[in-house]
Amino acid sequence: MTADILKKRAKIIGFFNPGAIAKKLIQHGILTMIITVVHAGGLPAQIPDGVYMGQENGRQHEIKVSGTYLVHSVYKSSPAEFIRTLGGRYSVEDGTLKWDLEFNSDFEQDSVRTQELPVQLSGDKLFWGKESLALSRTEGPDQQLEGLWLFATRGPDTGQERRGEGNTRKTLKFLIDGRFQWIAYDTADMRFSGTGGGSYTAKDGVYTETIKYFSRDNSRVGASLEFLYEVKGTDWHHTGLNSKGEPLYEIWARRTGT
C-alpha cells in the first residue's frame, strides 16, 4: 500500500493529527502492517497514541501514550493502593524502548532516570518489558482537553508570571481516551510530590474526574469531583471547589513538543 493511498485513507477517516490517525488506522487493520514494515527496515517506531491496560498479580498496569511521551502507572483497585508511576519521553528502535524519565515515584529507592526495555506491538496489544506483560489498548471517547497540560498559574489571568516549561518544578496533567492523571515533580532532583488518576469526562463546559488511584490518600479512591472548564487559546481555565470545599481557579497551558 503506497503512502498516497494511506494519506487518502486517513483523510476519509477524517483525522489529520498523526496520533489520531494511528488510533483510527489500527481499527481498520492497517497499523499492524505499518509497524511491521517499519521494524523490518530497522527504523524507529512509535507506539500508537492511547491507553493500554492489563493486570499482573492483582495489580493494574496503565500506560498512557501521546506522541513521544509515555506514562506507566501501577495500582490496586481492591483494596485501593497506589504502587508507582514513572514517565517521560521515549523512542523505540529494533524492539527496544528507550525512556528518559522526567519523574519516577520510586526514585529515592532506585535512583532510576532512564530505562531500556523490550516492547512488542501486535494489533491492539502492547507486550511490555522482559516479562512481556500483555496490555490491551482501550477504547475511549474523543473529548475536549485531550493531551498534556502543565500547570501555569492561579487564575484569573491578569498577566502574572507563569510557571513555564523551563521551570524544573512541574505539575503535569495527562488526558487521553477518557483517562486522566496529574503528577507533581521536580526534574532537577527527581523529587516526586504526588499523583492521582482515573477516568474523566469533559462536555459542555463541565469536567468530571473519578479517582481510581491517589498516592497521597488511598481512601479518596472512588470519589468524583466536578469542575467547570473553558479553553482560551492554548490555556485551560479550570474552576470550581477543591476537595476541601474551597474555591479553586487554575490555569493550565497545553504542553507542546512531545
Do 20 and 125 reside in the same domain of the chain?
yes
Of residues 80, 72, 133, the one with CA closest to residue 104: 72
What contacts 41, CB < 8 A, 6 or more positions away? none
Task: Select from 113, 137, 161 the last residue of a domain.
Answer: 137
Does this model's pTM top 0.85?
A: no
Give residue for cell 521551570. Answer: 167
pLDDT at 242: 82
Q: Grid coordinates standing for 212?
A: 481510581
pLDDT in tens, 27-38: 444 444 344 333
Is the pLDDT assigned to residue 252 strictly greater than 70? Answer: yes
Do 160 and 112 reside in the same domain of the chain?
no
Do 69 and 107 reside in the same domain of the chain?
yes
Q: How confident is the model at residue 3 (pLDDT cuts 50, 70, 90)?
A: very low
CATH of the domain at 36: 2.40.128.50
Evaluate whether 81 touches 218 at the Cβ level (below 8 Å): yes
Evaluate whether 69 touches 92 at the Cβ level (below 8 Å): no
Is the pLDDT assigned to residue 243 strictly greater than 90? Answer: no
Evaluate whether 231 touches 205 at the Cβ level (below 8 Å): no
Per-residue pLDDT averaged across 114-132, rounded? 95
Do 104 and 216 reside in the same domain of the chain?
no
| C-alpha triplet 146, 82, 206: angle, nearest 5° | 30
- The SS3 call for residue 217 is coil
Of 113 and 39, the structure prediction assigns the larger pLDDT to: 113
Do 213 and 244 reside in the same domain of the chain?
yes
φ, ψ of residue 209 in degrees (nearest 5): -110, 140
- The SS3 call for residue 10 is helix
pLDDT at 223: 94
pLDDT in tens, 139-196: 888 899 999 999 999 999 999 999 989 999 999 999 999 999 999 999 999 999 999 9
Q: Which of 20-29, 175-184, 239-248 bottoms out in mean pLDDT, i.e. has the lowest?
A: 20-29
Distance of alpha carbon 57 from the chain centroid: 23
Evaluate whether 97 touches 89 at the Cβ level (below 8 Å): no
CATH of the domain at 203: 2.40.128.490
The domain of 26 spans: 3-137
**CA pair distance 236, 12, nearest whole angstrom:** 30
Do 25 and 132 reside in the same domain of the chain?
yes
Is the pLDDT assigned to residue 6 strictly greater than 70? Answer: no
Per-residue pLDDT averaged across 187-216, rounded? 97
Handedness of CA 242, 218, 210, 232 (dihedral sign): positive
pLDDT in tens, 66-85: 999 999 999 999 999 999 99
pLDDT at 244: 78
pLDDT over 70, % of the chain: 83
Evaluate whether 75 touches 216 at the Cβ level (below 8 Å): no
pLDDT at 178: 97
pLDDT at 33: 38
Return mean pLDDT, the chain. 86
